[in-house]
Amino acid sequence: MSNIWICKLLSSLITLLIISSCVYVCEGQEAMATALPPAAETCNGVFISYQLMDRRKEFPRVKNVTAQSWAFNATAKVLNTGKDVVKSWKLFIGFQHDEILISADGGIPFEAGEFPADVGNGTTLVGSNLADLETSINTANDMNQIQALIKISGTQFGVKPPGVPLPKTIKLDNDGYKCPRPTTRKRIMQACCNRDPKSKKKLIKTKFIPRQKGDLTISYDVVQAYDNNYLVQVTMENHSPLGRLDRWNLTWEWTRGEFIQQMKGAFTREIEYTGCIFGPPGQYYKDMDFSKVMNCQKHPVISDMPPEKSNDTELGKIPFCCRNGTLLPIIMDPSQSKSIFQMQVFKSPPDLDKTSLFPPAKWKITGVLNPAYECGPPLKVQPTIFPETRGLDAITYAIASWQIVCNITKPKQRTTGCCVSFSAFYNESIVPCNTCACGCDEDEDNGRCNPNAKSMLLPSEALLVPFENRTKKTVAWAKLKHFHVPRKLPCGDNCGVSINWHVASDHKGGWSARITLFNWKPYFFKNWFTALQFKKTVSDGFEKVYSFNGTLLRKINNTIFMQGIEGSNYLIGIDNETNPKVPGKQQSVISFTKKFMPTMQIAKGDGFPTKVLFNGEECSLPTQFPMRSGNQHNVYLVQQVLILVLAFTMIQILY
């Protein structure tokens, strides 16, 4: 009797054990099985779930529990149990344990881009191979078409067992759906999202921001749109009277997994498509031949085509393209103040419809020895109007337009590309460019020269000599003139271009100066320009520039604008075959009257510019002027006349 009783008790205990362990195991497998969880059966909308499958301690093993990393496996599901097709599903998973996604089979974390992706603040997954979820009604309950299954693996931090590290929340991020707080049981988090009856189809009534003014404006005009790609025309216009770009490089950030399939009128510096193959596009465009794709970088660097490609039907044939990246001020040539290129952009899920258009962000543009530009964000503006291309007297509109405004910023100290030296007929010494005017290379110069010492006065013949070969001359000059010679000599200016402003004569009615441009770079400057500002009454006395084409721009702070005359508008590069090297050089004399400022004091600074630009870049100016002492006037005048004559003959010989 008692034996039977004990037996019964034992067996029922065993059954209980089996059952309870089965409950635990079965629940773990439930998600894998075809049977749906009860909550899904009763959901008449979109059923979403997240289940932590497995987790293992990673290396390194640490004592600090919160710093321990774990490898985890999870499955997320989006199941359409409603009667409407769910277009471009988006599942937000609110991770909270510094998760790093290593893979997400079936989904793409679309803000994060590439794996491994830091998703510690949560991420939105979109479908890679199943972007839209069909209805059960349309497919005879084909689970493969109505359910997206995402297999996630990654790393997470902290949470000591038996704690179960689940996300903070999950929700369907599609417009028109509302999700309640998800319920959590053991390792599963789930919710049933329903259509939000209050959400009416938002009437997209776009209010456009008026177009802004700025030094350089860029227009991003979508001219053709298809479901998964669009054709965009990018137009850059230089509006600054003294702004300029040469060999421009334009870069930006794609924020939604786009890539550039083709480009006309410009090219990307790297032809790179591995980013696509291993990124979201590779998962979505399974049949695309990526070797024909132009660029898949998140931050492509784009440059203008060389002029030889302007008639190339495949790469060029875009108006205003193909000038090696030159954007001149309008006063120099309006036809060269604009650059245009076109590109075919392919999109990634979930942006797969014609109206999902997003411009890239974080625009930056640079040029060679040009001003520094700072660009604002793209702003949606009234679609750009284009003339009809078939010759009809009609206009067409861009599908969507954004404007990016870039303004010139004042160069910070030691970041410019050009500098100025001052000299005058009444003083034998030249006040050179400032030490490190264009920056100093710490590694190269460190120890050998002093980046903070004042630059040393020069004899005039040293101006044409590269800094590296000047030392002997400078030191000898200092000894001769009894100037202080510091123990550690100052570093050079390191500028690509330097400009010497030399006051050549000063008499009762007027005065004259000679400007010399030196190019220390190995490349030439075509269509160069320089712009000088003085005290207003000084520039009012501007008369004539002899060897350059000069104009006084009264509206722009009375700037004297100078460019090479037609045929001699090249500032050639340094000749590196000679020893010492010889810089490229251009020179002219400028005359002024004193009519508007009879009391002007040349040596006190009135005869020297207050601001100098070369190709739009603001040059570094010396901090002192050549001083006048005693009455050596006449001696140097004779010498100066000789130099002037020499300068003219040199120009004659050169051109």
Ligand X SMILES: *[C@@H]1O[C@H](CO)[C@@H](O)[C@H](O)[C@H]1NC(C)=O
Which positions touch ligand X (CB under 6 A)? 54-56, 64, 66-67, 71-73, 118, 120-121, 153, 212-214, 247, 249, 269, 301, 306-308, 310-311, 324, 331-332, 366-368, 376, 405, 407, 427, 429, 431, 457, 468-469, 522, 526, 549, 556-557, 565-566, 576-577, 579-580, 624-627, 629
C-beta closer to ligand X: residue 247 or 535:
247
Q: How far is the CB of 63 from ligand X (least distance, A)?
A: 8
Category of 144 on φ-ψ map: left (φ > 0), alpha (ψ -120 to 50) or beta: alpha
The CA-atom distances, in angstroms, between 547 and each of 163, 265, 587 are: 83, 36, 7
Residues 10, 11, 16, 18, CA torsion sign: positive
C-beta closer to ligand X: residue 67 or 385:
67
Q: How far is the CB of 286 from ligand X (least distance, A)?
A: 22
DSSP H helical segments within 31-91, as ranges?
38-41
C-beta closer to ligand X: residue 200 or 448:
448
Category of 186 on φ-ψ map: left (φ > 0), alpha (ψ -120 to 50) or beta: left
Category of 315 on φ-ψ map: left (φ > 0), alpha (ψ -120 to 50) or beta: alpha
Q: How far is the CB of 55 from ligand X (least distance, A)?
A: 6
Q: How far is the CB of 648 from ligand X (least distance, A)?
A: 18
Q: How far is the CB of 240 from ligand X (least distance, A)?
A: 8
Alpha carbon distance 119, 96 (integer Å) = 8
Tokens of 186: 């053991």
Q: How far is the CB of 100 from ligand X (least distance, A)?
A: 9
C-beta closer to ligand X: residue 197 or 447:
447
Q: If we measure between CA atoms, which residue out of 228, 229, 218, 226 comes closest to residue 345?
A: 229
C-beta closer to ligand X: residue 346 or 618:
618
Centre a 10 Å sphere on the Cβ of residue 314 and count the other Cβ atoms it contains.
Answer: 8
Q: How far is the CB of 194 from ligand X (least distance, A)?
A: 30
Q: Which residue has the tokens 């802004």?
A: 212
Q: Which residue has the tokens 């393209």?
A: 321
Q: How far is the CB of 59 from ligand X (least distance, A)?
A: 13
C-beta closer to ligand X: residue 15 or 624:
624
Alpha carbon distance 469, 389 (integer Å) = 59
Q: Looking at 120-228, which runs of residues are DSSP E strands? A: 123-127, 147-157, 170-172, 177-178, 183-185, 188-195, 216-225
How far is C-alpha 46 from the chain's CA centre? 41
Q: How far is the CB of 462 from ligand X (least distance, A)?
A: 12
Q: Which residue has the tokens 């009519």?
A: 595
C-beta closer to ligand X: residue 396 or 549:
549
| DSSP per residue, 294-349 | -B--SS-EEEEPPGGGTT-TTT---TT--SSS-B--TTT-GGGSEEEEEEEEE--T
Q: How far is the CB of 468 from ligand X (least distance, A)?
A: 4
Q: Give exposure, 352-376, as e/b (b: 16+ Cβ within 10 Å).
A: beeebbebbeebbbebbbbbbbebe
C-beta closer to ligand X: residue 580 or 598:
580
Alpha carbon distance 572, 584 (integer Å) = 5
Q: How far is the CB of 508 from ligand X (least distance, A)?
A: 22
C-beta closer to ligand X: residue 285 or 542:
542
C-beta closer to ligand X: residue 29 or 579:
579
CA neighbours closer than 13 Å in the CB half-sphere of residue 442: 0
Q: How far is the CB of 39 from ligand X (least distance, A)?
A: 25
Alpha carbon distance 495, 512 (integer Å) = 26
C-beta closer to ligand X: residue 74 or 399:
74
Q: How far is the CB of 499 from ligand X (least distance, A)?
A: 18
Alpha carbon distance 128, 118 (integer Å) = 19
Q: Parallel, antiparallel, or unpaired: how do β-strands 617-618 and 611-614 relate?
A: antiparallel
Max alpha carbon distance in the chain (Å)? 140
Centre a 10 Å sphere on the Cβ of residue 395 and count the other Cβ atoms it contains.
Answer: 9
C-beta closer to ligand X: residue 377 or 598:
377
C-beta closer to ligand X: residue 63 or 205:
63
- Which phi and psi angles does 40 have, rounded to 5°? -75, -35
